[in-house]
Amino acid sequence: MQLPNIAAFVVSIVYYKMRIGIVCYPTFGGSGVVATELGKELAVKGHQVHFITYSQPARLDFFNENLFYHEVHIPSYPLFQYPPYELALASKMVDIVRFEKLDVLHVHYAIPHASAAFMAKQILRTKGIHIPIITTLHGTDITLVGKDVSFEPVVTFSINQSDGVTAVSDSLRTETYEFFPIEKEIEVIPNFIDLKKFKRQKKDHFRMAISPNDEKLLIHTSNFRGVKRIQDVIKIFAKVREKIPSKLLLVGDGPERPKMEKLCRELNICQDTRFLGKMEAVEEVLSVADLFLMPSEKESFGLAALEAMACEVPVISSNAGGIPELNIDGVTGFACPVGDVDEMVQKALYVLQDDNLPRFKANALARAHDFNIDKIVPLYEKFYQRIINEQLALL
């Protein structure tokens, strides 16, 4: 932000197109997906968006004249047992803010993006540039990794030093205040979905191939980490299958997969279970599903469940974290205590009854509309504008 005072005043009263830097993990994880979809939509709306990441974000797959991608290069050196990603990122932020004349930097996932942004901000200040920093908390940066004593002081400090902080659910906001001495106001801006992309498509051939005898189709998508409790997905499915002919689709990959494949063999359900691995167009496979399973130990929001709901798939989930803010118990599915497999089985059997399923599917879609991209992205634009104006007023 390098405006003379009079220009700053004009900008503060007139809505204008912003130059926005977005920092995120470029992987398939929820925070990277949200950040990338946000940047794409902001670019469509005419803002200039600069992604600063260590590789091309997985969903940054389309061309728009307002979208830019800057790769963070981390030089290797024999001395570095751990490559100094945070320093390379901070240096890149300094470079891009200066030369692209950014108005705001929005970092997704506190570790280490908020502290790298703090460092960049201090360096830029020595050059007379004042860049507002916005940090969005996504979940594990607070509920798992951030709480670790190895990170906590830096996480607390860098959140407090951010000019604006958002969290993706009320639950995450509450948990952040409970576990960290945060003085900043945290604004809740929930995750969102593009209903033009995520919608139920006609995929009869695929459905026929997977469930030739019209078996019910249960589905789970995740990064296959321990926190997702995929063992519960498999146990729920095994019990549902005893009562209703059904199949299970598992989308994604990660550290838990070998153990989960072993569990399927032990339960003798391999013939009805498919591990599909990572998929680009997850909405295609969601389009044939009847029920989504998300029994997570922790989940700040549950973006994967929202993607399912947008494709008219009801959800049986745990009631961890922010999930109940999305999956309304008894309406869009059910949210049960973490680890209560029997309860989840009972609820799954209820939802899958032919008399009930159409109602739950319609409710799931209706709920997804509350999180449509065109409702949520304007909240970010408003928030950016407010933080930019507040910072301008301090100059």
Which parts of this chain interact with ligand GMT (CB under 6 A)? Answer: 29-32, 34, 109, 138-140, 143, 168, 191, 223, 225, 227, 298-303, 321
When the beta carbons of 245 and 255 are compared against ligand GMT, the nearer one is 255
Closest contact distance (angstroms) between CB of 24 and ligand GMT is: 9
Closest contact distance (angstroms) between CB of 182 and ligand GMT is: 18
- The structure tokens listed for 247 are 């199949």
Closest contact distance (angstroms) between CB of 188 and ligand GMT is: 12
When the beta carbons of 32 and 295 are compared against ligand GMT, the nearer one is 32
- The structure tokens listed for 379 are 């909240």
Closest contact distance (angstroms) between CB of 352 and ligand GMT is: 25
203-216 burial: b if 16+ Cβ within 10 Å, else e: beeebeebbeeebb
Element (H, E) at 335: strand 333-336
CA distance 385 to 378: 10
When the beta carbons of 163 and 299 are compared against ligand GMT, the nearer one is 299
CA distance 160 to 241: 50
Strand partners, 216: 246
Closest contact distance (angstroms) between CB of 169 and ligand GMT is: 8
When the beta carbons of 223 and 231 are compared against ligand GMT, the nearer one is 223
Contact 228, 256 (CB under 8 A): yes
Name which of 95, 87, 151 is nearest 119 in CA terms: 87
CA distance 295 to 330: 16
Element (H, E) at 136: strand 133-137
When the beta carbons of 21 and 302 are compared against ligand GMT, the nearer one is 302
Contact 52, 39 (CB under 8 A): no
CA distance 171 to 322: 5
Closest contact distance (angstroms) between CB of 251 and ligand GMT is: 14
When the beta carbons of 143 and 287 are compared against ligand GMT, the nearer one is 143
When the beta carbons of 102 and 193 are compared against ligand GMT, the nearer one is 193
**Under the phi-then-psi rule, with left for phi > 0, alpha for psi from -120 to 50, and beta for the rest, what region is 30?**
alpha
Closest contact distance (angstroms) between CB of 23 and ligand GMT is: 13
